[in-house]
Amino acid sequence: MAVAEAEIKGSAYVKEVMALVKAKNPAEPEFHQAVLEVLESLDLVLQRRPEYRSARILERIVEPERVFMFRVPWQDDRGEIHVNRGFRIEMNSAIGPYKGGLRFHPSVNLGILKFLAFEQVFKNSLTTLPMGGGKGGSDFDPKGKSDNEVMRFCQSFMTELFRHIGPNTDVPAGDIGVGGREIGFLFGQYKRLRNEFTGVLTGKGLNWGGSLIRPEATGYGAVYFAQEMLGTRKESLQGKVCLVSGSGNVAQYTIEKLLDFGAKPVTLSDSSGYIYDEAGIDREKLKFLLELKNVRRGRIKEFTEKFKGVTYTPLDPKLDYNPLWNHKAHCAFPSATQNEINGKDAGNLLKNGVYVVSEGANMPTTLEGAKQFLDARILYGPAKAANAGGVATSGLEMSQNSLRLTWTREEVDQRLHNIMKAIHKACYETAEEFGTPGNYVNGANIAGFLKIADSMLDQGLV
Ligand code: NDP
């Protein structure tokens, strides 16, 4: 979605920086969108802290410190040769080593990874842990590939990536299309090339340096964040009907935590369509989902063959809205991909009574959709804050690797929960401090930015 000139609000300076970003990074609409959303919030800060402008913090923060782009050749099971493109964006290391996931999806390109890396910088700052921001991945599509093909691809990818990363330099994790299987293959190849067993990736298996709760963390965190937002209105998730999109890692554990809190999730989706289950997705159905998606790697449509009363709606690319967001509910947890809630979807959600949106996916709402949520003054938790639980727990995995210790499930979950409460508090209080109470978008952008900007000032012109 291109950012139109007329959409750019804010001071002349913000407009000037935005024009520079668009001119220097043409054909990267997602990156423009992510930058604009942050810059509009930062206008409030720049009025109070003119030193950021004279130090050109904005111009520096939108420029990646380093970008790698590389060829990834691999052979399929029939011996055919394929060539994909690999990327790693090292966006900002002001407060710690670069940290952020790897995405394997055919839609991956430089602009998408730059938007993700940019968001990651602020998100990581919010976690209270010492992590800089990065992101990477490839336009490789793991869907329909055999385990051996995925392994050969991962090994080829790591054969270039290994020279750029390290436990004190850059620590990648998973994202769309990169789960436990892929992290295993990537880790194995890194270890082989470096002859070093080290915490260079997070999301590792439990037997070889992984942390309990890391797979659950993003979904759990998004639900904890929603619970905190509801707490400001003396409410809870108990009994709330929830729309969830996606059916991968984030969606699965969002459903699990919603059930723990007594809520009723009623939808799930994949890139082919979505299911609606009025009776609610209970623990038996969740168990089926985990097996369907993580073991058999099947499609969400199969839900209807297994359970009565579940309806399936295939994706209709001709529609200018997503019918998943057009059901009566209280809460929405977008957990699939960017820009999955457009202006029309946001309108439908509000019309159907949704007043809590907690973003598990990265930038799932367009600028137009977000504006509607903010204008309606609903409890709108933006991705940077609401889905920070994943990277926070990756940070906890790094700590355990450094200490050569493993914490119990309860211990990690408790730390995750406390971090999500702290992120919520920081966003809530910062929004208030800067004159926009209840605006978690401003709260998250500003709270994340201040720590980075001050660290950049401290470290001089680097
Ligand atoms: P998974 O690959 O496990 O699952 C992704 C899900 O979203 C799948 O159901 C997939 O369907 C669907 N999906 C992906 N792309 C599209 C698309 N273009 N259109 C429609 N559906 C799509 O990824 P995750 O659950 O890990 O990630 C989901 C979101 O959460 C992403 O935005 C990611 O950046 C974000 N996130 C993830 C974190 C993590 O720890 N994993 C941390 C923070 C954010 P299908 O299988 O058909 O492709």
Q: What is the pLDDT along the chain (462 residues), one digit of tens a residue?
A: 566 655 667 789 999 999 999 999 999 999 999 999 999 999 999 989 999 999 999 999 999 999 999 999 999 999 999 999 999 999 999 999 999 999 999 999 999 999 999 999 999 999 999 999 999 999 999 999 999 999 999 999 999 999 999 999 999 999 999 999 999 999 999 999 999 999 999 999 999 999 999 999 999 999 999 999 999 999 999 999 999 999 999 999 999 999 999 999 999 999 999 999 999 999 999 999 999 999 999 999 999 999 999 999 999 999 999 999 999 999 999 999 999 999 999 999 999 999 999 999 999 999 999 999 999 999 999 999 999 999 999 999 999 999 999 999 999 999 999 999 999 999 999 999 999 999 999 999 999 999 999 999 999 999
Residue 194, classed as helix, strand or coil, is helix
The encoded tokens of residue 32 equal 């423009």
Q: Which atom of ligand 1 is nearest to the CA of 337?
A: 32
Identify the structural domains of the chain with CATH numbers, from first to last: 5-61 (no CATH), 66-197 (3.40.50.10860), 217-386 (3.40.50.720)
- Phi, psi torsion values for 69, nearest 5 degrees: -135, 130
Tell me the C-alpha distance between 233 and 420, whole Å.
17
Rounded Cα distance between 424 and 224, Å, is 9
Cα of 410 from ligand 1 centre, angstroms: 26
> What is the DSSP annotation of 48-68?
H-HHHHHTTHHHHHTS-SEEE
CB-side exposure of 275: number of CA atoms within 13 Å? 23
Which ligand 1 atom is the nearest neighbour of the CA of 338? 32
Hey, what are 395's tokens?
Answer: 């940070």
Ligand 1, residue 177: give the atom nearest the CA: 2
Report how far apart, in Å, the C-alpha atoms of 12 and of each of 9, 16, 19, 62, 417 are: 9, 6, 10, 17, 40
Rounded distance from Cα 164 to ligand 1 centre (Å): 25
- Taking CB atoms and a 6 Å cutoff, what residues make up the pocket around ligand 1? 107, 174-177, 179, 218, 246-250, 270-272, 335-337, 360-362, 387, 390
In angstroms, the CA 310 to CA 302 distance is: 10
309 close to 335: Cβ distance less than 8 angstroms: no
Give the mutation target among 120, 220, 250 for probing the ligand 1 site: most ligand atoms within 8 A of CB: 250
Instruction: Quote the ligand 1 centre to 133 CA distance (angstroms).
Output: 19
pLDDT of residue 376: 98
Alpha carbon nearest to ligand 1 atom 36, residue? 361
Instruction: Find how far residue 90's CA is from the centre of its chain.
Output: 16
374 three-class SS: helix
CB pairs under 8 A, 24+ apart, for 49-53?
Answer: 49/453, 51/457, 52/453, 52/457, 53/13
248 Cα–ligand 1 center, Å: 6
Helix (H), strand (E) at residue 108: none
Res 5: pLDDT:
57
Q: What phi and psi values does residue 222 have, to the nearest 5 degrees?
A: -65, -35
17 C-alpha to ligand 1 centroid (Å): 31
Which ligand 1 atom is nearest residue 116's CA?
A: 34
Coil/strand/helix, residue 135: strand
126 residue type, one letter? L
Q: Three-state SS for 127?
A: coil
